[in-house]
Structure 1
């Protein structure tokens, strides 16, 4: 019998480059808006820095919520971003740069996943097309149609 009472929905891990050592205020504001709307739940947020020699350090946001503007956010699952995730993402960070690993639960997708499972069906695959690619394709299509 399929599980239909999900505690969590699908989770996406984002690696967001930082200009400096902290997320831009607009990014923090966007996260606050998405959380307030109920579309997502912020599970985890880790700042990762790679020094010039390639050494990687990470900071769990739970220890610095006020410093980063998250004092009014209830995190859903601090630590869901594991050390293996951080190490894999760190390979994408240039030496001397920082990035944030953001774990977002897709609350809307949790409801959909539960409904799909309750119907006896299952999600066989999910593919994500990055926004930049979708916009480039649509832009190209628009210019070809002119």
Structure 2
């Protein structure tokens, strides 16, 4: 079977107040890392001044300072300059964010098995969680409305 060093990687821009993330901001990420579902590859701080000047801090030398001393960053530098510049456009003036590269470790096995069997992922699309939840809520509401209509019909027939 083909063995991949990495599974799919997602880049996230996580906004926060101040110049560094509060530990509570990062606890969800750290819980996932500790569970083995994801692997933290890279972590870059992007700050934008009120005037729009951007400051980028690649924290490999300052892991302790950012609460990451217990976490190995497995692929420092994998977040490219073009990625950082693109994400920096979304940081509001006077605030900061972290560009976080996360390997979807749980998908690495699937990727290995597909490659070993000759399968090829031709495309992939991520549906954002808010969209999935909104669609599921609509579907649940439709099912509930249909159920209520059936119950009302049954009551009327009695």
TM over 0.5: yes
Q: Does 1:40 align with 2:27?
A: no
Number of the residue aligned with 2:95: 97
Number of the residue aligned with 1:135: 133
Q: 2:111 aligns with which of 110, 113, 118?
A: 113
| TM-score (normalizing by structure 1) | 0.90
Residues 15-54 of structure 1: matches in 2 within 5 Å?
Answer: 15-54=13-52
Give 1 or 2: higher helix fraction: 2
Q: Which runs of 5 or more structure 1 residues have no equivalent in the other structure?
A: none
Aligned partners of 1:39 and 1:25: how far apart in 2?
A: 20
Count of residue correspondences: 144
Superposition RMSD on alpha carbons, in Å? Answer: 1.6
Q: Which runs of 5 or more structure 2 residues have no equivalent in the other structure?
A: 146-158
Q: Which has the higher Rg, Structure 1 or Structure 2?
A: 2
| TM-score (normalizing by structure 2) | 0.84
Aligned partners of 1:97 and 1:33: how far apart in 2?
A: 25
Q: 1:14 aligns with which of 3, 12, 16?
A: 12
Query: Residues 59-90 of structure 1, C-alpha deviation per residue, up to 9 Å, x if partnerless?
Result: 11222211221111111011111111100111
Moved over 6 A (4+): none
The answer (yes or no) to whether the contact 2:16–2:95 under 8 Å persists in 1 is yes
Query: Residues 79-127 of structure 1, C-alpha deviation per residue, up to 9 Å, x if partnerless?
Result: 1111111001111111112111000011111111010000001111111
